[in-house]
Structure 1
Amino acid sequence: MNETVRAYDRDAAAYAARTAAVPDAVRAEVARLAGELGSGARVLEIGSGGGRDALLIEGLGLVVRRTDITPAFVSLLRGRGHACDHLDPLVDDLTSPDGPHDAVWANASLLHVARHDLPRVLGRLAAVTRPGGRLWSSFKEGDGEGWSTHGTISGPRHFTYWRAADLRGAAGGVGWTDVVVHHGPEGDRGETWLVLSAVRDGVSA
């Protein structure tokens, strides 16, 4: 288990409590995704954390497969009665017995992936998404990478910072098309966010 996962593992309950309220911008993105997919669509969530996004997505008629790399988040969600898979999107099997997913939702989770690993992760996510399916993910804007200790997480976490052009490059050529990167709202510590959306290559199902 790496240091970032250990940091979340120690303070998972506190993090879940602090992030329980869904920002309006996230609500708007979920509503847009639900409108594009239609009721009953299956969404693979990478980094479910405390579970707030999944509940919102399900409330709009979609079906969520919860996953997280942090054991404490998996245990927390299972304790609340939700199925949750303990998965590392870089190395673990992401396939589902129900077939390809209709979308991938990764809110503030893939920003912990090393720069050189992100294209591989995005390619692996494309491989388990149906043609015409959707990708939505968010990242912190900036240059380089670094460690940060803030909020309810007492240990240091590693972040990779991105510029829009580099994110578009990371998603291009690994199974996604119509790649769009736009600025999200400012974070509570003044940081700026980038939102990556894309469509799975191929003819829509």
Structure 2
Amino acid sequence: MGDASDETVRAYDLDAVAYAGRTQVSDGVRADLEELAAVLGAGARVLEIGSGGGRDALLMEALGLHVRRTDITPGFVTLLREQGHACDLLDPLVDDLSSPDGPYDGVWANASLLHVRRGDLPVVLRRLAGVTQPGGVLRISVKEGDGDGWSTHGTVRNPRHFTYWRAAALEEVVAGAGWSAVPVRSGLEGTQGETWLELSAARDEVSR
């Protein structure tokens, strides 16, 4: 995914354990996951992009969903495997996203695709659409803003690269990648004074 992403992966890799233990699932994410579970129904299969420390996956499973954990950072994959969870080392830009069990019912990418370069996001979203059944649900969250940049904060000591998005541009990219986008929720407050965008979309009935 390029030099910037390589540096970001290394930053997470060095502090994977500290990052995984930093927080619990926020009330906002919990509400989003409860809504996702209600929409998909018990037993639905979800591809998680960027499982990190695994907190979201645990809640999804508690809500009755079956989760395929994946992450691009080796440290997170190792951590989750040590905890007894299956987890795949996976780069959504280039690696095989498919499952032998067929298309997924949903994709959960919470605060992970914000590290994907702007020009690569349409490719990633099209690849995700290609392994999701028609009508399946995509949930993503990214940081709100313009351009891109590096940031150092929290438990990750080395800089990470972020791509910032505005609502209209994000919705356009998602809609052009095989998803029927709904209006983006914007201005959601984060913990570092930043704001976030959240989007839920459905896999188009006819692939593009």
Q: Select 1:157's aligned residue among 155, 160, 167.
A: 160
By how many angstroms is 1:197 displaced?
A: 1.0
Which of 127, 132, 135 is residue 132 of structure 1 equivalent to?
A: 135
Is the Cα–Cα contact under 8 Å of residues 138 and 196 in structure 1 kept in the other structure? Answer: yes
Structure 1 unmatched runs, 5+: none
Q: Cα deviations across residues 128-165 of structure 1 (Å, max 9, x unaligned)? A: 00001000010000000000111100111000000000
**Post-superposition offset of 1:184:** 5.8
With over 3 angstroms needed to count, the CA separation of the structure-2 counterparts of 1:184 and 1:36, relative to structure 1, is farther
Deviations 1:162-203 (A, max 9, x none): 000000111112110143311263111110000011000118
Provide TM-score, normalisation by structure 1. 0.96
Residue 102 of structure 2 corresponds to: 99
- The 5 A counterparts of 1:148-187 are 148-183=151-186, 185-187=188-190
What residue in structure 2 maps to residue 144 of structure 1?
Answer: 147
CA contact (8 A) 2:48 2:109 kept: yes
Q: Percent identity?
A: 71
Which residue is equivalent to 1:76?
79
RMSD, aligned CA: 1.1
- With normalisation by structure 2, the TM-score equals 0.95
Alpha-carbon distance in 2 for matches of 1:89, 1:165? 23
- From 3, 16, 22, give the equivalent of 1:18: 22
- Structure 1 segments (4+ residues) deviating >3 Å: none
Is the contact between residue 134 and residue 204 of structure 2 (CA under 8 Å) also seen in structure 1?
yes
- Distance in 1 between the 2:133 and 2:46 partners? 11
1:100-119 alpha-carbon deviations (Å, 9 max, x no partner): 00000000000000001101
Q: 2:188 & 2:57 partners in 1: Cα distance? A: 20
Counterpart AA for 2:36: L
**Match of 2:14, as an amino acid?**
R
Aligned length: 202
